[in-house]
């Protein structure tokens, strides 16, 4: 629900981060406020407890996280970018709870007192198989000799892996994974440790850092075994980027497909209808995500 695609839901800056990670805190607190106020256990002095407020809170969180992310690179120092998720979520939840400025500052101080999460679990030999590999539908590519992948520097720094890929989590966050999958025509296996090329695209980085563009460009060049070099295919705004016209439709299609694994079509459409009605109470939306009798309401 939070991320429809791990790498496409990224906010670029000195590092890349996932701003929608804030939805967990925002939706949970909004739901609690809504139920507590409705039951009389809480006198709410904050913003209206509606879907519109949840969306407004997400915008605020994106703004806070984005401003810090543009100017600060955490990955080169072994720190994880989720420190800015904690910062944004804490600040926005303080707004939802109608905290005073002093209370908000006290809450934010705990973000830094707890320290910055390390990235040790994201790199070998300390990675763990906590993320699944995404299936790819590709045709066999036996005629490929090599594949050059060109990305902006931030992506190269974050997910370009040199040497052996020791664990599934290494491969899941590995740019070379693209080339291996294209060469094999199927998902990568444990034995597929080595790939050939990965280049940093300086022009891509300029577009990535340009605040008027904020592109997430990638380029792939395929060299065939007969020596022919195919024209580079460049995608400046991939699906998931706000500038890609297919993003919204793709998000909705994936939401329907994934929700269909658990809910009937009528239920899925009802959930979408409530989510798109900004005046609805938050708990009305959350209630639709839990079928009656499956879990006791403890709020």
DSSP letters for 172-224 = HT-THHHHHHHHHTS---TT-------EE-HHHHHHHH-TTT----EEEEEEE
Extract the tokens encoding 237.
């705004």
DSSP letters spanning 2-49: --SSTTTS-B-SSS-B-GGGGHHHHHHHHHHHHHHHHHTS----SS--
d(CA 298, CA 146): 56
DSSP letters spanning 259-286: HTTTS-HHHHHHHHHHHT-TTSBHHHHH
228: pLDDT strictly greater than 70: yes
Q: Say what the pLDDT of residue 33 is.
A: 94
- What's the length of the chain? 299
Identify the CATH number of the domain defined by range 144-235: 3.30.1330.120
Topology of domain 1-118+264-299 in CATH is 2-methylcitrate dehydratase PrpD (1.10.4100)
Torsion of CA 56, 61, 67, 71, to 10 degrees: -160
Q: Say what the pLDDT of residue 30 is.
A: 95
Q: Say what the pLDDT of residue 52 is.
A: 94
209 contacts: CB under 8 Å, gap ≥ 6: 12
Q: Say what the pLDDT of residue 257 is.
A: 87
DSSP 8-state class, residue 167: S
Q: Say what the pLDDT of residue 269 is.
A: 92
* Position 122 confidence tier, pLDDT thresholds 50, 70, 90: low
d(CA 150, CA 96): 42
Give strand pairing partners of 229.
Answer: 223
115: pLDDT strictly greater than 60: yes
Q: Say what the pLDDT of residue 28 is.
A: 94
Q: Say what the pLDDT of residue 253 is.
A: 87
CA 47 to chain centre: 27
Of residues 192 and 245, more confidence is placed in 245
Using alpha carbons, list the distances in angstroms from residue 42 to 32, 97, 130, 215: 10, 11, 38, 44
CA 14 to chain centre: 16
Using alpha carbons, list the distances in angstroms from residue 111 to 86, 89, 108, 116, 297: 6, 10, 5, 8, 30
CA 285 to chain centre: 22
196: pLDDT strictly greater than 50: no
The residue extents of the domains of the chain are 1-118+264-299, 144-235
CB 8 within 8 A of CB 1: no
Mean pLDDT calculated for residue range 230-254: 83
64: pLDDT strictly greater than 90: yes
* Position 139 confidence tier, pLDDT thresholds 50, 70, 90: very low
Torsion of CA 128, 10, 290, 267, to 10 degrees: -130
Mean pLDDT calculated for residue range 231-252: 82
d(CA 244, CA 78): 32
Mean pLDDT of the chain, nearest integer:
76
Of residues 22 and 189, more confidence is placed in 22
Up-side HSE of residue 2: CA atoms within 13 Å toward CB?
14
pLDDT in tens, 280-293: 999 999 998 887 66
Q: Say what the pLDDT of residue 94 is.
A: 97
Q: Say what the pLDDT of residue 136 is.
A: 31
54: pLDDT strictly greater than 90: yes
- Whole-model pTM over 0.75: no
CB 215 within 8 A of CB 204: yes
């Amino acid at each position: 629900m939070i991320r429809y695609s791990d790498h496409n839901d990224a906010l670029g800056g000195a590092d890349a981060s996932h701003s929608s990670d804030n939805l967990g805190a925002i939706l949970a607190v909004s739901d609690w406020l809504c139920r507590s106020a409705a039951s009389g256990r809480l006198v709410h002095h904050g913003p209206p407890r509606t879907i519109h407020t949840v969306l407004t809170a997400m915008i605020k969180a994106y703004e806070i996280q984005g401003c810090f992310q543009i100017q600060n690179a955490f990955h080169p120092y072994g720190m994880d970018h989720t420190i800015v998720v904690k910062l944004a979520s804490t600040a926005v939840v303080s707004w939802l709870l109608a905290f005073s400025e002093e209370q908000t500052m006290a809450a934010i101080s705990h973000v830094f007192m707890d320290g910055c999460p390390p990235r040790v679990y994201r790199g070998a030999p300390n990675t763990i198989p906590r993320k699944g590999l995404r299936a790819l539908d590709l045709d066999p590519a036996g005629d490929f000799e090599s594949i050059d992948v060109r990305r902006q520097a931030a992506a190269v720094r974050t997910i370009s892996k040199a040497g052996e890929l020791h664990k599934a989590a290494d491969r899941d966050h590995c740019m070379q994974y693209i080339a291996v999958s294209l060469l094999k025509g199927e998902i990568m296996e444990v034995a597929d440790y080595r790939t050939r090329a990965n280049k940093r695209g300086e022009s891509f980085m300029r577009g990535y850092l340009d605040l008027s563009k904020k592109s997430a460009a990638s380029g792939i060049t395929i060299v065939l075994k007969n020596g022919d070099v195919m024209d580079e295919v460049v995608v400046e705004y991939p699906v998931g980027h706000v500038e890609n016209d297919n993003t919204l439709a793709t998000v909705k299609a994936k939401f329907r497909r994934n929700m269909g694994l658990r809910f009937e079509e009528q239920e899925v459409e009802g959930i979408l209808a409530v989510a798109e009605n900004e005046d609805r109470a938050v708990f009305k939306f959350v209630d639709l995500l839990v079928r009656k009798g499956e879990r006791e309401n403890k709020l």
